[in-house]
Structure formats: structure tokens, C-alpha cells
Amino acid sequence: MADLTGFDANQVEPTTAFDPVPANKYLAVITESEMKPTKSGTGSFLQLTFQIIDGEFKGRFLWARLNLNNPNATAVKIARAELSAICRAVDVLAPRDSTDLHNLPLVIHVRCKKRPDTGEITNEIKGYAKKEQPAAPAAAAPNTTAPWKRPG
């Protein structure tokens, strides 16, 4: 039970339902990570919380689950490849802890898919990439005019 003494809903605007974000690429960071047991109890997955940090959907959250400990070898192989993509996108190739991946910008590729159980449209992260670096300013062409011939 949580103590809510002092909270007054009359003083706070209620949240509204969030529609899924449109399929696109978004600049995001990992804000939380946690190992959780699978529903069957036979393994565990790394749940990553991503927050969009730029654009119209800034502040929105998305989640990814990586089945790193699972009796299904294919699920583990897919999860390890996805973790590798995340690590490469944030330039942390040998993390010691999932928190080593937090707060580092990367691009997430988001798609929309229909849930088979409810038919509801939800978001799914389908890829990761490095944040694009701004282009370096073009170097000025060297001035080959002799100093005494330059306008002054």
C-alpha cells in the first residue's frame, strides 16, 4: 500500500490515452533497464525503456524486451543480435551492466503492428542505428592569391 496523503486529483490534470507513435525513426535514449522473469518462469528478459528525445513525440516512451535467457535458442540468438545492434548504436561494445547503455542517444526504428489478442495497434522497435553526426563545416579553400595582390 502507498501513502497518498496530500494528493488532490482536483489540482492535477489527468493523463489521456496515448495513441501509438507513427512508424518512423526517432532519436531516443534508454532511460531504464531491468531483468525480468518470463511469464513461464523458464527464463528472463532484459526490458529496456526508451524515451524519444526530439521532435513532435519528445518525451514518449517505448519498450523493448530481449530474451537473453530462454530455453529457445533462436529467441536468445535474436535477442543477442538486437543487443549487439544497440551496443553498436551507442558505441558501448562491451557493457558490464545494462546501465552502461543509459542516456546515450541512438536512433530507433519504430513500426506499428496489430496485437493478435486484442487487435489494438501498438508500437514495436524493429531496429537501432547510431545518431547521425552533424556534417562538419566545409574547410575554406586556401587563398592562393599573393598577399600583396589581395583587396585590402
pLDDT, residue 3, reads 87
Whether 35 is covered by a domain: the verdict is yes
| Per-residue pLDDT tens digits for 37-96 | 999 999 999 999 999 999 999 999 999 999 999 999 999 999 999 999 999 999 999 999
Is the residue at 61 inside a domain?
yes
pLDDT in tens, 4-45: 888 888 988 887 777 899 999 999 999 999 999 999 999 999
Predicted confidence (pLDDT) per residue in 101-123, tens digit? 999 999 999 999 999 999 999 99
Provide the number of structural domains found in the chain: 1
Residue 62 in any domain: the answer is yes
6, part of any domain? no
Identify whether 55 is part of a domain. yes
Contact between 145 and 139 under an 8 Å Cβ cutoff? The reply is: no
Is 25 a domain residue? yes
CA-nearest of 91, 106, 140, 114 to 29 is 106
Torsion sign across C-alpha atoms 19, 114, 83, 37 = positive
Say if 30 falls within a structural domain: yes
CATH number where 58 lies = 2.40.50
Residue 81 burial (CB count, 10 A): 10
Is 2 within a domain? no
The range of the structural domain enclosing residue 57 comes to: 19-130
